[in-house]
Structure 1
């Protein structure tokens, strides 16, 4: 059979750099003893021993461990002699020589045969260094560490062992050996081969001692029995599955070229790219309790290097993309772990390339990085893709650069038509599998998690996200309720402090940092001095953190809330009057020249959804939008003002603003035309039928959305709106035309679902549209 390998790119990368082998009895099946008999598997050896030592037939009900225990007490000398003769290798397949093609660090084995000695005796590329005899090798690139866990026929000390009980007792007798084994397995990827379901007890002992076998590195197991229950058992240990037999695997090794890539000098990355370099574990100075992370704080490098944050299956797939030299884009809902996974991938992948990370990159800086690299290989990890689309498109087409980017699902939909997706893997990491959910629960600090794991209640067939899983399984209030209490208390006791905190959250929502100068300008009208501001910042304490990214003025401090998600939770919970006052004070007091990343800031700073919460009155909100439109030359302010007024049901005024937005953009911006259609629909879907042209106007809205769908690359955006409006249209009219809209919506939703099976809104609307059609068509 041909091999089928999960995360094959990562396996290939491991075989070419450094890998451990962990060998069971099945590994030696292509070898023979002096009597030309194939070396036995565990079950075969048991049958031989029963026959050889004359046990009654019913002893066949015992397993190998139990038969061995009896023989040690009754026939120990003869038993050992038989084992030695039976496991001394005389002949073996030449395919074992293919081991020379892979880069092996260590070989661990529960076999007692001498096959590995015989094979490596004829291999000039490496030599076997038996740690049980010689201790560690001293910096030899040609030595392969060899650890026979059950002893070996080459040196029986004091006797050969088989059972999982023997293995477990060895942990107690020589704990340092097992610490060494644990360290080696955690240092690099490991391939387990030659094990079967009958070796479950051995794998269980290893798992109990090492935790998730393999630590932060990938691990594979060669499997010939592909029944679902068997594969699921191996997956419970965190294994990737290689389906095939040992002959297939050795053939696969023959096609591997383990000539190692010359590693870049790590210090050169630090010198050339001090702002973007990824710190090593030794360089991480700041360490904080993991409670901060699980309570909603943005991940820091000490969290990542702690090894205590769950490594979910999406991470394995991402690392496989990286090892396959693929460019990748991770998308997901807020707080789904995108930044965390990006940092985990950056920390766990090899140092054979320059590794750089940024959360914002102008295209000019991308040009500078390319020039500095001068053709040297690099991986660039780019958080918040929508702010750096030009840079992404530029660097992804450089042969020496690989780019891994993240973005929120909604933001990605908005800019996806601008992103060069050719040759990119797109992965949505929002939903967690059963096994991932268990990992997340297990990773929670004991004093923080609830007694028994709870699965969050989800709509339909949705699976929970990382945040939803954490929030459902911590003892404290839900994160949203907790921050609602925080902002209410701040506002009642320390209103000036609350105002500053909300301002910082508002700016961070736009993905811009808050500088000391911005704070000074914001509070200028209240008579604050520098010392007063320092005092306010100190009072906010852990709610804000220093920002030291490259795109700020290094002469002054900059601040962020704990995370982007926390800033949005705060803005969602903040009292209406406080939010309104912050928005007005900010825009009245600050000039654009004060705002770092102003180009990024203004994309989100005028969002109608936020302003609907801030302004009760349509009149007051419109007046403020008028001020904004005069201060900032931005046609999208007109679009957002129109959407704001539509939500306030001031449709006549909304049309004036959206018409002006269309005029200023020459009708070329389809997102503005889309907004026009939404306003048309909202203004008329509830209108009396007697009013002039109601249905005609609704049809016009549907046609605008249809036109946007066909001529705009952002299909999902238009499909969702079309389907939502089609459902409302059907509820109002229920005639053939309304059914036709539903059928069109269904067709488009099915197409989007094939392309984006993870999209929750598409799934939700498919259920509703299908239900509506089922009611009328059967």
Structure 2
């Protein structure tokens, strides 16, 4: 079961656990690891059962063990984004994919009917549902605008608590909880006693959820310390995305967190860093390149990996600092072993954007690299849209035989990605690629 964020995957899982009638025992697991799956298999021995798994691609090797076991009917749930990137590892196994992203008009109307009137706009409607049949789109069009200016008021009233709250939101938006140990390092134990730190957390109140007494979602949580997260991951992401550019408080939070909190204290660091250093977040906090460069240098001192260098390169490219972007992406290429196509794709995108208006042959070479990524990477979907959009730009600029070949090649990749037989591409990406296809068709 896959779907976009906030599409109801976890809710559906809970409904199935509660409502699906079977003689077999039912179990559920969240964010499995290889060790946890092996322990579970020992406990059930050779008995048959049904296992519901949320956030299943936390460790794809754990998923593979479950798919190999014939005594277990595994019902797996995760975001479409994670499924597309991990599909090549499970493609040899027999399974049925269900994308729950779409809702129909009956479902949409039932959702609207369940929302209190004072939260809805006047004249709610489902008539635009065909353009984007998702819960998020429905709510965006029919709910009154939510004002997140309360963060600013929170800061003015209690700066310490506001900073800790933003830090927890930042960590939770990356898909992991925040331990008290992380808060302890963030606030700096030389300035506060642990009792004072607990008091700061208490002042945040109901904006946070304490996981200490409900640790099913995170199996590594123990009773030694407290763990916190926002009311929901969607709310955490919404708060982080609503922060205005160059916000001094958020900038300070990122600085303090990166400087003070060591890797080994960050829960599930491998998962955390997939989103934590994203160029879109960093460009919001650091719109001045000198500050952004200083921040990424600090990050690279803590984590000398291709992830950091790749995101830094995208950051500099966004501000058209292409020399810096090339320096950072070159470092990423020198480090990349298992993520090579992703790094090469980023390199080619920057290379193309620099040269499209300057030199046709150089832009051509960059497109050839992107085309190779589409041809060779098992995770083709990561590159298809970027290649297709740049093929369109190339054709609009030069309109020659080379550009026509790229248009045809891009159309082939897009058609393959959106075909009914394709079980890799998520529904939401298929909608977006259909729009790209209509642009490509104009040039044939």
Whether these two folds match at TM > 0.5 is: yes
**Which residue of 269, 278, 281 corresponds with 1:607?**
278
Alignment correspondent of 2:431: 763
Partners of 1:378 and 1:402 within 8 A in 2: yes
Which residue number in structure 2 is paired with residue 48 of structure 1? none
Corresponding position of 2:269: 598
Change (3 A) 1:536 1:420: farther
1:738 paired with 2:406, answer: no
Aligned to 1:464: 133
Q: Is the 8 A contact 2:84 2:426 kept in 1?
A: no
Counterpart in 1 of 2:208? 544
- Mapped contact 1:551–1:597 kept (Cα < 8 A): no
Distance 2:110 2:339 in 1: 48
Seen in structure 2, the aligned counterparts of structure 1 residues 451 and 379 have a Cα distance that, compared at 3 Å, is farther
Q: Say if 1:508 and 1:560, in contact at 8 Å, map to a contact too.
A: yes
> Structure 1 525/681 Cα, relative in aligned 2: closer, same or farther at 3 Å?
farther
* Structure 1 residues 628 and 463: alpha-carbon distance in aligned structure 2, compared to 1, 3 A threshold: closer
> Residues 122-271 of structure 1 correspond to what in structure 2 (within 5 A)?
none
Name the counterpart of 1:395. 66
Distance 1:546 1:637, change over 3 A: same
Partner of 1:353: 24
Contact 2:387 2:410 in 1 (8 A): yes
The equivalences for 1:244-323 within 5 A come to none
CA pair 386-700 structure 1, distance change in 2 beyond 3 A: farther
User: Is the aligned partner of 1:494 residue 2:162?
Assistant: no
Write the distance in 1 (CA, Å) between the matches of 2:128 and 2:162: 33
Per-residue CA deviations over 1:657-698 (Å, capped at 9, x if unaligned) read 11111112258621111111111122223x4x3xxxx21221
What are the superposed Cα offsets for residues 287-325 of structure 1, whole Å, 9 maximum, x if unpaired? xxxxxxxxxxxxxxxxxxxxxxxxxxxxxxxxxxxxxxx
Give, in whole Å, the separation in 1 of the partners of 2:403 and 2:190: 57
How many aligned positions are there? 434
Is the contact made by 2:411 and 2:440 (CA closer than 8 Å) also made in structure 1? Answer: no
CA distance in 2: counterparts of 1:573 and 1:519, whole angstroms: 23
SS at match of 2:126: coil
Q: Distance in 1 between matches of 2:323 and 2:210?
A: 46
Q: Is the contact between residue 440 and residue 470 of structure 1 (CA under 8 Å) also seen in structure 2? A: no
Structure 2: 5+ residue stretches without partners:
none
Question: Secondary structure at 2:26's aligned position in 1?
Answer: strand
1:571 aligns with 2:235: no
Deviation at residue 445 of structure 1 after TM alignment? 4.6
Unaligned runs of 5+ in 1: 1-329
- Relative to the length of structure 1, the TM-score reads 0.53
The offset of 1:452, in angstroms, is 5.4
Aligned to 1:196: none
Equivalent of residue 193 in structure 2, options 526, 529, 534? 529
User: What corresponds to 2:308 in structure 1?
Assistant: 637
Structure with max Cα Rg: 1
Q: Distance in 2 between matches of 1:772 and 1:421?
A: 33
Residue of structure 2 in register with 1:424 after alignment: 95
Q: Report the secondary structure of 1:379's partner residue.
A: strand
- Map 1:60-71 onto structure 2 (within 5 A): none
1:206-253 C-alpha deviation (Å, 9 max, x unpaired): xxxxxxxxxxxxxxxxxxxxxxxxxxxxxxxxxxxxxxxxxxxxxxxx
Contact 2:28 2:52 in 1 (8 A): yes
Alignment-derived partner of residue 664 in structure 1: 335
Q: Distance in 2 between matches of 1:344 and 1:421?
A: 29
Match in the other structure for 1:678: 349
Q: Output the CA distance in 1 between the equivalents of 2:140 and 2:316.
A: 35
Deviation at residue 505 of structure 1 after TM alignment:
1.1
**Quick one: distance in 1 between partners of 2:293 and 2:284?**
13
Match of 1:701 in 2: 366
Q: CA deviation at 1:519?
A: 0.8
Tell me, in whole angstroms, the C-alpha distance in 1 between the residues paired with 2:162 and 2:398.
49
Paired with 2:224 and 2:435, the residues of 1 have a C-alpha distance of 55
Higher helix share: 2
> Aligned equivalents of 2:435 and 2:155: distance in 1?
43
2:171 corresponds to which residue? 507
Q: TM-score, normalised by structure 2?
A: 0.90
